[in-house]
Amino acid sequence: MKFRPLHDRVVVRRIEEDERTAGGIIIPDTAKEKPMQGEVVAVGPGARNDKGELIALDLKEGDRIIFGKWSGTEVKINGEELLIMKESDIMGILEGKKASKKAA
């Protein structure tokens, strides 16, 4: 991707969740909520503190994250729908084997 976010912003690709309930019922598109999980696509260099020093972000490209339902701004880059949000909008990073298996 040829897009680099500024400061403490992050570009995220939503990860679609399963379209079926545990009982096997298929959820129609109109009843689905937007996914609150995503994969970090690009990361800005970081924010500056009061002294002007750069504070690097805790995220890196490829991290699976959880963010708030209404977080970020939806944009279309190279025909792909992505979210741009501040690092503070991100609630946490999913770690472990389960997180990497779901991404594949």
What was the pLDDT predicted at 15?
A: 84
Closest by CA position to 10, among listed 90, 77, 80, 66: 90
Whether residue 46 lies inside any domain: the answer is yes
Where the chain has pLDDT below 70, the residues are 1, 17-35, 97-104
Q: Tell me, what CATH number does 33's domain have?
A: 2.30.33.40
Structure tokens at 102: 């779901």
Domain region containing 22: 9-103
When divided into structural domains, the chain yields a total of 1
What was the pLDDT predicted at 35?
A: 66
What was the pLDDT predicted at 2?
A: 77
What was the pLDDT predicted at 22?
A: 61
What was the pLDDT predicted at 80?
A: 87
What was the pLDDT predicted at 94?
A: 87
